[in-house]
Structure 1
Amino acid sequence: MQIPLQITFHGIDHSDAVETRIREKITKLQVISDRITSCRVVIEVHHRNTSNLHRKGEPFHIRVSLAVPGADLVVKRDPKDIHENEDIFVALREAFDSIERQLKDYAARQRGDVKTRANSGAAAEV
Protein backbone atom coordinates (compact mmCIF):
# COMPACT_ATOMS: atom_id res chain seq x y z
CA MET A 1 0.00 0.00 0.00
CA GLN A 2 1.20 3.47 -0.80
CA ILE A 3 -0.62 4.99 2.18
CA PRO A 4 -0.36 3.17 5.54
CA LEU A 5 -3.42 1.40 6.92
CA GLN A 6 -5.64 3.68 9.02
CA ILE A 7 -7.70 2.14 11.83
CA THR A 8 -10.05 4.40 13.78
CA PHE A 9 -12.15 3.60 16.84
CA HIS A 10 -15.16 5.83 17.68
CA GLY A 11 -17.15 5.36 20.89
CA ILE A 12 -15.05 2.32 21.78
CA ASP A 13 -11.65 1.88 23.36
CA HIS A 14 -8.74 0.82 21.17
CA SER A 15 -8.20 -2.94 21.16
CA ASP A 16 -4.93 -4.58 20.18
CA ALA A 17 -6.79 -7.83 19.41
CA VAL A 18 -9.18 -6.04 17.04
CA GLU A 19 -6.32 -4.18 15.38
CA THR A 20 -4.41 -7.44 14.91
CA ARG A 21 -7.46 -9.09 13.32
CA ILE A 22 -7.91 -6.12 10.96
CA ARG A 23 -4.24 -6.29 9.94
CA GLU A 24 -4.63 -10.03 9.24
CA LYS A 25 -7.67 -9.34 7.06
CA ILE A 26 -5.82 -6.60 5.15
CA THR A 27 -2.89 -8.93 4.53
CA LYS A 28 -5.32 -11.43 3.00
CA LEU A 29 -6.76 -8.69 0.77
CA GLN A 30 -3.27 -7.74 -0.40
CA VAL A 31 -2.75 -11.33 -1.56
CA ILE A 32 -5.89 -11.02 -3.70
CA SER A 33 -4.72 -7.73 -5.22
CA ASP A 34 -1.40 -5.97 -4.87
CA ARG A 35 -2.94 -2.83 -6.36
CA ILE A 36 -4.50 -1.55 -3.11
CA THR A 37 -3.16 1.97 -2.60
CA SER A 38 -4.84 2.75 0.72
CA CYS A 39 -7.18 1.28 3.29
CA ARG A 40 -9.16 2.85 6.10
CA VAL A 41 -11.19 0.93 8.68
CA VAL A 42 -13.56 2.66 11.10
CA ILE A 43 -15.14 0.80 14.02
CA GLU A 44 -17.90 2.73 15.71
CA VAL A 45 -20.46 2.23 18.44
CA HIS A 46 -23.44 4.57 18.53
CA HIS A 47 -24.57 5.00 22.10
CA ARG A 48 -28.30 5.32 22.58
CA ASN A 49 -30.08 6.52 25.68
CA THR A 50 -32.71 3.88 26.38
CA SER A 51 -34.37 2.53 29.47
CA ASN A 52 -33.87 -1.06 28.33
CA LEU A 53 -31.56 -2.44 31.02
CA HIS A 54 -31.56 -5.95 29.56
CA ARG A 55 -29.77 -4.99 26.39
CA LYS A 56 -26.47 -6.87 26.08
CA GLY A 57 -24.54 -4.29 24.10
CA GLU A 58 -24.48 -1.83 21.30
CA PRO A 59 -24.11 -3.00 17.72
CA PHE A 60 -20.85 -2.25 15.93
CA HIS A 61 -20.80 -0.12 12.82
CA ILE A 62 -17.93 -1.07 10.52
CA ARG A 63 -16.72 0.86 7.49
CA VAL A 64 -13.94 -0.44 5.25
CA SER A 65 -12.67 1.76 2.42
CA LEU A 66 -10.13 0.50 -0.11
CA ALA A 67 -8.58 2.68 -2.79
CA VAL A 68 -7.43 0.89 -5.92
CA PRO A 69 -6.49 2.39 -9.28
CA GLY A 70 -9.67 3.65 -10.91
CA ALA A 71 -12.04 2.76 -8.06
CA ASP A 72 -12.90 3.20 -4.41
CA LEU A 73 -14.37 0.09 -2.80
CA VAL A 74 -16.47 0.73 0.29
CA VAL A 75 -18.37 -1.47 2.72
CA LYS A 76 -20.47 0.16 5.38
CA ARG A 77 -22.21 -2.10 7.87
CA ASP A 78 -24.86 -0.28 9.87
CA PRO A 79 -26.91 -2.89 11.70
CA LYS A 80 -30.67 -2.50 11.45
CA ASP A 81 -31.42 -4.84 14.35
CA ILE A 82 -30.03 -3.95 17.77
CA HIS A 83 -28.85 -7.54 18.30
CA GLU A 84 -27.00 -7.69 15.01
CA ASN A 85 -23.22 -7.29 15.17
CA GLU A 86 -22.95 -7.23 18.96
CA ASP A 87 -19.77 -9.29 18.54
CA ILE A 88 -17.06 -7.12 17.04
CA PHE A 89 -15.27 -10.08 15.46
CA VAL A 90 -18.46 -11.20 13.70
CA ALA A 91 -19.03 -7.66 12.47
CA LEU A 92 -15.45 -7.48 11.17
CA ARG A 93 -15.75 -10.86 9.45
CA GLU A 94 -18.94 -9.81 7.66
CA ALA A 95 -17.49 -6.47 6.56
CA PHE A 96 -14.25 -8.00 5.31
CA ASP A 97 -16.08 -10.84 3.53
CA SER A 98 -18.04 -8.19 1.64
CA ILE A 99 -15.01 -6.05 0.75
CA GLU A 100 -13.16 -9.21 -0.33
CA ARG A 101 -15.96 -10.01 -2.80
CA GLN A 102 -15.77 -6.46 -4.17
CA LEU A 103 -11.98 -6.69 -4.50
CA LYS A 104 -12.20 -10.04 -6.30
CA ASP A 105 -14.75 -8.55 -8.72
CA TYR A 106 -12.48 -5.55 -9.29
CA ALA A 107 -9.45 -7.81 -9.89
CA ALA A 108 -11.43 -9.95 -12.34
CA ARG A 109 -12.51 -6.84 -14.28
CA GLN A 110 -8.91 -5.63 -14.40
CA ARG A 111 -7.76 -8.99 -15.80
CA GLY A 112 -10.61 -9.01 -18.31
CA ASP A 113 -12.10 -12.17 -16.79
CA VAL A 114 -15.60 -10.73 -16.50
CA LYS A 115 -18.03 -12.49 -18.75
CA THR A 116 -20.34 -10.33 -20.78
CA ARG A 117 -23.97 -11.22 -21.15
CA ALA A 118 -25.14 -12.51 -24.47
CA ASN A 119 -27.56 -10.16 -26.16
CA SER A 120 -30.84 -11.87 -25.27
CA GLY A 121 -32.83 -9.86 -27.81
CA ALA A 122 -30.80 -10.95 -30.81
CA ALA A 123 -31.59 -14.41 -32.08
CA ALA A 124 -29.39 -16.06 -34.63
CA GLU A 125 -31.22 -16.23 -37.93
CA VAL A 126 -30.39 -18.84 -40.52
Structure 2
Amino acid sequence: MQPAADVVYRDLDASQALNDIISKKLEKLSRFSHHIQRSRVVLDSPHKHKHKGKRYRASIELDLKGAPVTVSQDDTSIHIAVREAFNAAERKLKEMAARRRSARHQPEPADTDQPD
Protein backbone atom coordinates (compact mmCIF):
# COMPACT_ATOMS: atom_id res chain seq x y z
CA MET A 1 0.00 0.00 0.00
CA GLN A 2 1.40 3.39 -0.97
CA PRO A 3 1.02 5.76 2.00
CA ALA A 4 -0.37 9.23 1.47
CA ALA A 5 2.52 11.70 1.40
CA ASP A 6 2.45 15.40 2.24
CA VAL A 7 5.46 17.53 1.31
CA VAL A 8 5.56 20.95 2.94
CA TYR A 9 8.05 23.69 1.99
CA ARG A 10 8.70 26.45 4.51
CA ASP A 11 10.82 29.43 3.46
CA LEU A 12 11.83 27.47 0.34
CA ASP A 13 10.61 27.29 -3.24
CA ALA A 14 8.89 24.03 -4.18
CA SER A 15 11.02 21.74 -6.31
CA GLN A 16 9.75 18.97 -8.58
CA ALA A 17 13.15 17.24 -8.37
CA LEU A 18 12.92 17.09 -4.56
CA ASN A 19 9.33 15.86 -4.79
CA ASP A 20 10.45 13.02 -7.07
CA ILE A 21 13.31 12.07 -4.74
CA ILE A 22 11.00 12.14 -1.72
CA SER A 23 8.38 9.96 -3.39
CA LYS A 24 11.05 7.37 -4.33
CA LYS A 25 12.44 7.38 -0.80
CA LEU A 26 8.96 7.00 0.71
CA GLU A 27 8.29 4.08 -1.60
CA LYS A 28 11.50 2.48 -0.36
CA LEU A 29 10.46 3.04 3.28
CA SER A 30 7.14 1.32 2.62
CA ARG A 31 9.11 -1.86 1.82
CA PHE A 32 10.46 -1.92 5.38
CA SER A 33 7.12 -1.41 7.11
CA HIS A 34 3.63 -2.17 5.89
CA HIS A 35 2.19 -0.29 8.87
CA ILE A 36 2.80 3.23 7.47
CA GLN A 37 -0.57 4.96 7.28
CA ARG A 38 0.50 8.52 6.47
CA SER A 39 3.74 10.38 5.94
CA ARG A 40 4.67 14.04 6.05
CA VAL A 41 7.94 15.62 4.96
CA VAL A 42 8.71 19.19 6.00
CA LEU A 43 11.57 21.03 4.30
CA ASP A 44 12.58 24.37 5.74
CA SER A 45 15.39 26.78 6.41
CA PRO A 46 15.10 27.43 10.14
CA HIS A 47 18.49 28.96 10.95
CA LYS A 48 19.26 32.56 10.21
CA HIS A 49 22.87 32.62 11.44
CA LYS A 50 25.06 35.03 9.52
CA HIS A 51 28.31 33.40 10.57
CA LYS A 52 27.38 29.74 10.05
CA GLY A 53 25.86 30.11 6.61
CA LYS A 54 22.52 28.87 5.38
CA ARG A 55 21.22 25.65 6.95
CA TYR A 56 18.34 23.45 5.83
CA ARG A 57 16.22 21.00 7.78
CA ALA A 58 14.40 17.94 6.52
CA SER A 59 11.85 16.46 8.93
CA ILE A 60 9.98 13.21 8.32
CA GLU A 61 6.89 12.21 10.27
CA LEU A 62 5.56 8.69 9.71
CA ASP A 63 2.23 7.65 11.23
CA LEU A 64 2.51 3.98 12.00
CA LYS A 65 0.08 1.61 13.63
CA GLY A 66 1.18 1.69 17.26
CA ALA A 67 3.89 4.36 17.39
CA PRO A 68 4.70 7.36 15.19
CA VAL A 69 8.26 7.92 13.96
CA THR A 70 9.74 11.42 13.68
CA VAL A 71 13.19 12.17 12.29
CA SER A 72 14.88 15.44 11.36
CA GLN A 73 18.30 16.29 9.95
CA ASP A 74 20.09 19.59 9.36
CA ASP A 75 22.70 20.30 6.70
CA THR A 76 24.01 23.05 4.45
CA SER A 77 22.45 21.29 1.43
CA ILE A 78 18.74 20.44 1.33
CA HIS A 79 19.47 17.33 -0.74
CA ILE A 80 21.91 15.97 1.85
CA ALA A 81 19.49 16.78 4.67
CA VAL A 82 16.73 14.84 2.85
CA ARG A 83 19.05 11.88 2.20
CA GLU A 84 20.25 11.71 5.80
CA ALA A 85 16.73 12.07 7.21
CA PHE A 86 15.50 9.17 5.08
CA ASN A 87 18.53 7.07 6.07
CA ALA A 88 17.73 7.70 9.75
CA ALA A 89 14.05 6.84 9.19
CA GLU A 90 15.06 3.61 7.44
CA ARG A 91 17.29 2.65 10.37
CA LYS A 92 14.44 3.30 12.82
CA LEU A 93 11.97 1.23 10.81
CA LYS A 94 14.43 -1.66 10.53
CA GLU A 95 15.08 -1.48 14.28
CA MET A 96 11.35 -1.50 15.04
CA ALA A 97 10.80 -4.47 12.71
CA ALA A 98 13.65 -6.39 14.35
CA ARG A 99 12.21 -5.72 17.81
CA ARG A 100 8.79 -6.87 16.61
CA ARG A 101 10.28 -10.07 15.16
CA SER A 102 12.35 -10.84 18.25
CA ALA A 103 9.38 -10.28 20.57
CA ARG A 104 7.31 -12.64 18.45
CA HIS A 105 9.94 -15.40 18.63
CA GLN A 106 10.74 -15.24 22.33
CA PRO A 107 10.44 -18.61 24.06
CA GLU A 108 7.63 -18.87 26.54
CA PRO A 109 8.77 -18.74 30.16
CA ALA A 110 9.07 -22.12 31.86
CA ASP A 111 6.57 -22.95 34.58
CA THR A 112 8.55 -22.63 37.83
CA ASP A 113 5.68 -23.40 40.20
CA GLN A 114 5.92 -27.18 39.93
CA PRO A 115 5.38 -29.22 43.10
CA ASP A 116 8.37 -31.15 44.46
Give the 3 Å change call, closer, same or farther, for CA 48–113 of structure 1 in structure 2. same
Give the 3 Å change call, closer, same or farther, for CA 115–76 of structure 1 in structure 2. farther
Unaligned runs of 5+ in 2: 107-116
Aligned-partner SS, 1:112:
helix
Q: 2:65 aligns with which of 52, 64, 69?
A: 69
Task: Give the length in aligned residue pairs.
Answer: 106
Q: Percent identity?
A: 32
What residue identity is the alignment partner of 1:100?
A: E
| Structure with more strand by fraction | 2
RMSD: 2.4
What residue identity is the alignment partner of 1:62?
A: A
TM score, norm. by length of structure 1: 0.73
Query: What is the aligned partner in structure 1 of residue 90 from structure 2?
Result: 100
Aligned-partner SS, 1:18:
helix
Contact 1:4 1:39 survives alignment (8 Å): yes
TM score, norm. by length of structure 2: 0.79
Aligned-partner SS, 1:75:
strand
Mapped pair 1:27 → 2:18: no
Measure how far apart 1:32 and its partner are: 1.1
Query: What is the aligned partner in structure 2 of residue 43 from structure 1?
Result: 43
Measure how far apart 1:44 and its partner are: 0.3
Query: What is the aligned partner in structure 2 of residue 112 from structure 1?
Result: 102
Measure how far apart 1:8 and its partner are: 0.1
Unaligned runs of 5+ in 1: 80-84, 117-126
After TM superposition, what 4+ stretches of structure 1 lie above 4 angstroms from structure 2? 113-116
What residue identity is the alignment partner of 1:106?
A: M
Query: What is the aligned partner in structure 2 of residue 16 from structure 1?
Result: 16
